[in-house]
Amino acid sequence: MAESTDLEQLMNSFKKFAIHGDTKATGKEMNGKNWAKLCKDCKIIDGKNVTGTDVDIVFTKVKAKTSRVITYEEFQRALEELAPKRFKGQSKEEALTSVYKLIEGKEPTNIGVTKMAKTAAVDRLTDTTKYTGSHKERFDESGKGRGKGGREELVEETGYVGSYKNAGTYEEKTKAK
């Protein structure tokens, strides 16, 4: 059968999938959602021989009647049930070893979980070049926000009137004379 190092890797993968998405999880028990994610991410579900329904049925079969989670031992029993179905041409032991190899060292993936909406409406609403009035003042020419300077009128205490063009040139004029 499988070696002890392979079983340790299997146990590590079980723990990683068991705690995925649940801040209170200890890693000793896995819920049905994470079991289905493990089967999907590790390619146990192939769409032909093993489907999502098969995975759910096996989960329900191996868990305790009143329980909503499976332990590591029940997890191994579930894999024993799915292995011959996934690898039909192999013996039970070979099929189980093949399933172990699919799972070993794997972690839950987050690819494609959240996608940013990229529609014309969102682009139009977030295009800062089309802003008018007081909202236009909140962004510089490149479209980057100015922060507090764009929301509030910041007072410069230089001693010059706000619209004076030659601010800071008095010293140069007096030195030249």
What integer pLDDT is reported at residue 53 of this predicted model? 93
The residue-averaged pLDDT of 154-160 equals 74
Higher pLDDT, 10 or 135: 10
Closest to 38 measured CA to CA, from 107, 100, 110: 107
Q: CB within 8 A of 106, min separation 6: which ones?
A: 13, 16, 38, 41, 42
| Terminal-to-terminal C-alpha distance of the chain | 98
What average pLDDT score do residues 65-84 get? 92
d(CA 79, CA 57): 12
Q: How far is CA 74 from CA 21, 23, 89, 125, 176, in A?
A: 21, 22, 25, 52, 91
Please give the C-alpha separations between residue 79 and each of 14, 76, 94, in angstroms, as whole numbers: 12, 5, 12
* Band (146; pLDDT cuts 50, 70, 90): confident
The mean pLDDT value for 55-84 works out to 92
CB 103 within 8 A of CB 13: yes
Answer whether residue 1 shows pLDDT above 60.
Answer: no
Could you tell me the pLDDT band of residue 151, with boundaries at 50, 70 and 90?
Answer: low
Q: Model pTM greater than 0.95?
A: no
Residue 100's closest CA among 133, 116, 76?
76
- Looking at residue 163, what is its pLDDT? 73
Residue range 10-58, pLDDT digits in tens: 888 899 889 988 888 888 999 999 999 999 989 899 888 899 999 999 9
Q: What are the structure tokens assigned to 41, written together? A: 């991410």
Highest mean pLDDT among 3-17, 31-45, 118-132, 162-176: 31-45
Higher pLDDT, 143 or 100: 100
Mean pLDDT (the chain, rounded): 82
Are the beta carbons of 55 and 35 closer than 8 angstroms? yes
Asked which of 47-56, 73-82, 132-141 is least confident by mean pLDDT, the reply is 132-141
Q: What is the pLDDT of residue 4?
A: 65
